[in-house]
Amino acid sequence: MGIDPGTNYMGYGVLEIEGRTLRPVVLGDIDLHRIADPYAKLRYILERVGALVDTYRPQEVALESPFFGENVQSMLKLGRAQGVAMAAALSRGLDVFEYAPMRIKQSITGRGSAAKEQVAAIVCRTLAVERPPKRLDATDGMAVALCHYFTTSGPMNALLGNDRVKGLGGGKKAASKGGSQSWEQFLKKHPDREIK
């Protein structure tokens, strides 16, 4: 399941995978723009994402990580929405993964700066979606699911096993066996390389 967090609309998509065959189960969005109270909005996100997880029973949930913009308040609101969606999945025992917006666009279109309309067109063409959803948030949610599939089904996935990064940018750890601990290990082996 892929989720594109938002404070007005939160897009989602559930992808079914059989071998190399991909099938869209559902594309949609959670309409939040009429809820004025920010805490009521967060409660609604928790309930709706939880209900989606209970209904479609995905094995994993991937989310778009918040992008760093100049408007700190918008970023904070978006981060809260993402955190609540994440908590809904985690509370049901699912693994959660994050992908940066540019990485998602690049995995779908080949360009990290692609427009939402281009992402939507390629998602619909890739999955043979005949009637595109009304809002692009839904195709953005499915793009996150596709990005996660492309990342985890690639040849590097087989080499690295199931040792996945759950931090910003998502996907797999670096090709080193130690992954995120490799820098600390490197400094232990080469103390002369640390700049103090």
pLDDT digits (tens, 9 = 90+) for 153-191: 876 665 555 554 444 444 433 333 444 445 566 667 767
Q: What is the CA radius of gyration of the chain?
A: 18
Which residues form the catalytic set? 4, 64, 137
* pTM of the shown model: 0.80
State how far the Cα of 17 lies from the Cα of 21, in Å rounded to an integer. 6
Q: One digit per residue, pLDDT tens: the chain, 196 residues?
A: 999 999 999 999 999 999 889 999 999 999 999 999 999 999 999 999 999 999 999 999 999 998 767 788 888 899 999 999 999 999 999 999 999 999 999 999 999 999 999 999 999 999 999 898 999 999 999 999 999 999 998 766 655 555 544 444 444 333 334 444 455 666 677 677 666 5
DSSP state of 167: S
Supply the pLDDT for residue 184: 63
**Cβ atoms of residues 58 and 94 within 8 Å:** yes
Give tens-digit pLDDT for 38-53: 999 999 999 999 999 9
CA distance 121 to 118: 5
pLDDT value at residue 72: 85
Exposure b/e, 8-33, CB count within 10 A at least 16 = b: ebbbbbbbeeeeeebebebbbbbebe
Q: How far apart are CA 4 and CA 110, in angstroms?
A: 19
**Residues 27, 15: contact at Cβ < 8 Å?**
no
Give me the pLDDT at residue 182, please. Answer: 54
Is the distance from CB of 88 to CB of 49 less than 8 angstroms?
yes
For residue 159, CA distances in Å to 62, 119, 162 come to: 21, 29, 9
The full DSSP string for 11-42 is EEEEEEEETTEEEEEEEEEEE-TT--SHHHHH
